Amino acid sequence: MKRVGPLLRRILVPVLSVLTALLLGGVVIILTDFDNLQKIGTDPLGTLGGAVQGVLNAYGAMLAGAFGDPNRIITALQTGNAADIARAIRPLTETLVSTTPLIFVGLAVSISFRAGMFNIGGDGQLMIGALAATASAIALNGVIPAWLILIATIAIATLAGAAWGFVPGFLKARTGAHEVITTIMLNYIASLFVFFILTTSPALRAAGSTTPVSKQLSSIVDVPNLINLPTIRLDFGFVVALLMAVAVSWLLFRTTKGFELRAAGFSSTAARYAGMSAGGSMMLAMSLSGGLAGMAGGFLVIGTVGQLSLDLSGGIGFNAIALALLAGLRPSGVVVSALLFGALTQGGKRMGIDTGIPFDLLLFIMALVIMFVAAPGLIRSIWRVRVAKPAPEIAQVSSESAGTV
């Protein structure tokens, strides 16, 4: 029981942050529901009811989309019909499918943040990883057995992402260029580069397609599924993501490299005085970070989606920043937050289909989450509770970095 108190205090701010952000998201839903608002002159009470109903509908659809219907799952399991079971548990497994890349990129953001680097380039690193995986899968098709292709493509995706992440790390260490600007620019460049390859390379481009997408890769290589049921996409990528969380945690807190990385993240001068190489830590952290994002891209393109397209990343990089901050940059917290965000993502898609409320509302909610986590004083004044200060890593990105913005 002794540990419950501190744990509660630790999760108070994250929980209230998400709650507040969702409430504000509800306000946005109400304010943009013009059909409902137009009635305000004639039927104010009805408008109010309509507003509340609109929000409940939206978030209800989100909940259903994220977790499915428990009764239905139980019934389906009792009947034992594979198609029924698949249909019933699909929302839940799709949530885990959405969670997988969020864990990878959330870990990527955390590891770079720990080293004092604010990696906003998750999207670009993911896209480059996905491109590398696609290209290598097509190139290796028929050359080596499929299981070897699987390993090779994921490894190549990881390396490619790491290389893309290394660039801003190197620039920061050598020239002081601030990673926020360089990673965002590299996002644009990565996306244009993928676009360029998909429009010009006959080897990669899907024949006869009007939009720039790659050939289907599922006939070449696929990540084995965890549950063998029709339409269920949950695969071993999820397991690898969990393993990566363990690995990152071990690296950060149990190894000398992780110690160096955290020390340099807090104070590059003190790290230098202690004989560490702060620049080396920056480059290592950004490479690891890019590698994790690249791995996410590999699993997305080989496993979940089976095809490279321009909207593959879908803003995962930005979401990952929010969830990493929410997790207090702890790998275990990243897994929990990624589950939450995966549910929001999956539910958000359903909300879009059922109620026509665009999925992008989530991005706005994520921004609010980051704001509340970084400024717990806001949570304190809204909810009248005592809150802890934000983690020191979060409190000092730009004060420590002598970068040029």
Partner 1 sequence: MRLELRDITKRFPGVLANDRISISADRGKVLGMLGENGAGKTTLMNILSGLYKPDSGQIFIDETERTFGDPVAAIEAGVGMVHQHFMLVPVFDVVEAVALGAETTKDALGTFDRAAARKRIVELSERYKLDVDPDARIESLPVGVRQRVEILKALYRRSDILVLDEPSAVLTPYETEELYAIIRSLAADGTTIIFITHKLNEVLEVADDIVVLRRGRVAGTADPKTATRQELANMMVGRDVELIVPKGPAKPGEVVLSIEQLFVRDDRLEMAVNGVDLEVRAGEIVAVAGVQGNGQTELVEAITGLRTPDSGAISIGGKRTEKWGPRQVSNLGVAHIPEDRGRDGLISPMTIAENYILDTYHEAPYSRNGVLNLKVVRERAAQGVKDFDIRTPSIDTYAGALSGGNQQKVVVAREFSVPVQLVIAAQPTRGLDVGSIEYIHRRLVEQRDAGAAIVIVSTELDEVLAVGDRIAVMYAGRIVGILAGDDATYENLGLLMGGATYGEGTAA
Partner 2 sequence: MTAAEAALTMRPEGLAARKALRNSRLRGAAFAVFAVLAGYLASRSFDVAATFSFWIDKQGGETATLSTTVGAMWVVAAIATALVGVLQLRSAEFRWRRWLLVAIAPWIAALLGNLLAGKAAVLTNVLAGSLELAAPISMAAMAGILSERSGMLNIALEGKMLVGACVAAIVGSIVSLATGNAVLAVLAAVVSAMLVAALLGLLLAWLGIRHKVDQIIAGTVINIGAVGITNFIFLRILSRATEYNSPPPVQAVRIPVLADIPVLGPIFFVATPYVYIAYAMVAILTYMIYRTRWGLRLRAAGEKPAAAGTVGINVLQIRYRALILAGLISGLAGSYLSLATSSSFQLQMTAGKGFIGLAAMIFGAWHPVGAFLAALVFGFADATQSLLSILGVDVAPQILQSIPYVVTIVVVAGVVGRVRGPASAGQPYEQG
Residue numbers at the binding site for partner 2 (CB under 8 A)? 28, 32, 34, 118, 120, 171, 174-178, 180-182, 184-186, 188-189, 192-193, 195-196, 199-200, 315, 318, 321-322, 325, 356-358, 360-368, 370-371, 374-375, 377-378, 394-399, 404-405
Beta strands in 256-401 (DSSP E): none
Q: Which is nearer to partner 1, 211 or 255 (CB)?
A: 255
Query: Which one of 131-139, 210-218, 269-277, 374-382 is the stretch in contact with partner 1 (CB under 8 A)?
Result: 269-277
Using CB under 8 A as the criterion, what x/- string covers residues 276-295 for binding partner 1? x-------------------
Q: Which residues of 372-401 are buried (b: 16+ CB within 10 A; e: fewer)?
A: bbbebebbeeeeeeebeebbebbeebeebb
270 contact choice in partner 1, partner 2, none (CB below 5 to 8 Å, kind-dependent):
partner 1
Question: Does the footprint of partner 1 cover residue 256 (CB under 8 A)?
Answer: yes
Closest approach of Cβ 168 to partner 1, in Å?
24
Nearer to partner 2, 90 or 350 (CB): 350
Least CB distance to partner 2 at residue 171 (A): 5
Query: Using CB distances below 5 to 8 A depending on partner kind, what does residue 259 bind out of partner 1, partner 2, none?
Result: partner 1
Picked from partner 1, partner 2, none, the partner binding residue 184 (CB below 5 to 8 A depending on kind) is partner 2
Nearest approach, Cβ of 381 to partner 1 (angstroms)?
21
Sign of the CA dihedral with 201 first, then 207, 210, and 211 last: negative
For position 402 contacting partner 1 by CB under 8 A, the verdict is: no
Among 67, 193, 236, 266, binds partner 1 (CB under 8 A): 266
Kindly list the distances between the CA atom of residue 381 and the CA atoms of 13, 87, 199, 378, in Å, as whole numbers in the listed order.
12, 44, 52, 5
> Judged by CB, which is closer to partner 2: 175, or 231?
175
- Amino acid (one-letter) located at 377: G
Per DSSP, the residues of 202-229 read TTTBPTT-SS-BBPP-TTT--PPBSS-S
Q: What end-to-end distance do the CA atoms of the chain give, in Å?
A: 47
Shortest separation between residue 347's beta carbon and partner 2, angstroms: 16
CA atoms of 310 and 214, how far apart (whole Å): 10
Question: How far apart, in whole angstroms, are the C-alpha atoms of residue 15 and residue 13?
Answer: 6
Residue 254 contact among partner 1, partner 2, none, beta carbon within 5 to 8 Å by kind: partner 1
Return the one option of partner 1, partner 2, none that residue 229 interacts with (CB less than 5 to 8 A, by type): none
Q: Which does 288 bind (CB under 5 to 8 A by kind): partner 2, partner 1, none?
A: none
Closest to 115 measured CA to CA, from 287, 284, 264, 268? 264
- At residue 205, the 3 state secondary structure works out as strand
Contact of residue 275 among partner 2, partner 1, none (CB under 5-8 Å per partner type): partner 1
Contact at 8 Å (CB) between 163 and 290? Answer: yes
Binding-site size for partner 1 (CB under 8 A) equals 21
Q: List the beta bridge partners of residue 177.
A: 404
The label of the residue with tokens 């994250």 reads 14
Query: Within a 10 A sphere around the Cβ of 261, how many other Cβ atoms?
Result: 27
Q: What is the DSSP letter of 210?
A: S
CA nearest neighbour of 193 among 235, 248, 134, 140: 134
Asked if 257 interacts with partner 1 (CB under 8 A), we say yes
Residues 6 or more apart whose CB falls under 8 angstroms from that of 255 comprise none
